[in-house]
Amino acid sequence: MNDAAASEAAISVVNLRVSYGEREILHGITFDVRRGETMVILGGSGSGKSTLLRTLVGLEKPTSGEVWIRGVNTAHVSDREMDQIRKKMGMSFQGSALFGSMTVGENVALPLREHTDLEESTIKIMVRIKLGQVGLGSFENYMPSQLSGGMKKRAAVARALAMDPEILFFDEPSAGLDPIIAAGLDELILNLKKAYAMTIVVVTHELSSAFLIADRMVYVDRGHIVALGTREEFQASTHPRVRQFLDRVPEPEVNEELDYLQMLTGDPASGS
């Protein structure tokens, strides 16, 4: 069972540790993302979940541990090899990160123009298809600054889809959006999952969104994984930190600087 699951892993993280300077953010993370599943990485602010995502897409280098994607350990590859893997991954950033000097259509066309030898006419058609998939079919010639927050995020998803990725990453897809627009993005993620059987990794702290889209979830707390499982397993979880998160119980007030730093990075037991 375990072996079968491992061979089906799209991403395999083994004992991953990441530090910013002296401060260790992730203290040994191990988990798999299975091919075709939607994995939601849950966690509070400052839990390390964003760092985990940045490490998965190769924006941060781990201090130790392994990240296996497409049979390659990305912790030890050259930039050139990493770029080959990145061409098969798409990432939708929290703030959309569209290029402000280009139209929405040019944003989506950019990876196709740079990484493929397709004819300009073919690229035009592909851009229309990708924008159509995210519901922005008629906004090809708009500048990103003319779009609303939700539309920008959809456009960013279209750009992430441009190269037909095998794995799609979302950083806080519903951050800064009203509930209706956020629900629209959840639906978009569900549609993509149905249409392409893509592996999707979503970082969020939105519980409603997580329980809607996730096949499995992993809860990151202070740089450790404290729970991993299906929606049902999460609902039934008795882990105190998970319960606190799910039941929205506030943290005791932080007055001491040391407590704050400990809350961010270390568990009090290890004293590191």
Partner 1 sequence: MKMLEKIEAVPGVVGARTIDGFAYIGGLATLTGQAAYVTFVGPFRGQRLRPQRAIHQAMAVGVEAIAIVSLITFFVGLIMALQSAYELRRLGAMQFVAGAVAVSILRELGPLLTAIVVIGRSGSAFAAEIGTKKVTEEVDALRTMAFNPVAFLVAPKFLAMLVMVPCLTVWADFMGVVGGSVFGVAGAGFTVGSYFQATLDSIVARDIYTGLIKSVIFGLVITAVGCKEGFSTGAGAEEVGRSTTSAVVTSIALVIVVDLVFTALFYFINPT
Site string for partner 1, 40-79 (x = CB under 8 A): --------------x--xxx-------------------x
Q: How many angstroms separate the CA atoms of 111 and 32, rounded? A: 28
Min separation Cβ 229 and partner 1, Å: 28
Min separation Cβ 91 and partner 1, Å: 4
Min separation Cβ 76 and partner 1, Å: 18
Q: Is 97 in the site for partner 1 (CB under 8 A)?
A: yes
Q: Which residues contact 25 (CB under 8 A, 6 or more apart)?
A: 18, 19, 48, 51, 223, 265
Burial of 149 (0-12, 13-18, 19+ CB in 10 A): middle
Interface pick for partner 1 out of 84, 138, 146, 235 (rule CB under 8 A):
84
Which positions from 169 through 208 interact with partner 1, judged by CB under 8 A?
Answer: 169
Q: Is 87 in the site for partner 1 (CB under 8 A)?
A: yes
Crossing angle (nearest 10°) for helices 120-133 and 104-115 = 130
Give me the sign of the Cα torsion angle 238, 229, 27, 44: negative
List the one residue out of 225, 231, 183, 233 whose CA is nearest residue 38.
Answer: 231
Q: Is 114 in the site for partner 1 (CB under 8 A)?
A: yes
Determine contact, residues 42/55, Cβ cutoff 8 Å.
no
Q: Is 102 in the site for partner 1 (CB under 8 A)?
A: no
Min separation Cβ 35 and partner 1, Å: 20
Q: With H, G, I as helix, E, B as strand and everything else as coil, classify residue 10.
A: strand
Binding site for partner 1 (CB under 8 A): 54, 57-59, 79, 82-84, 86-87, 89, 91, 93-95, 97-100, 110-111, 114-115, 159, 169
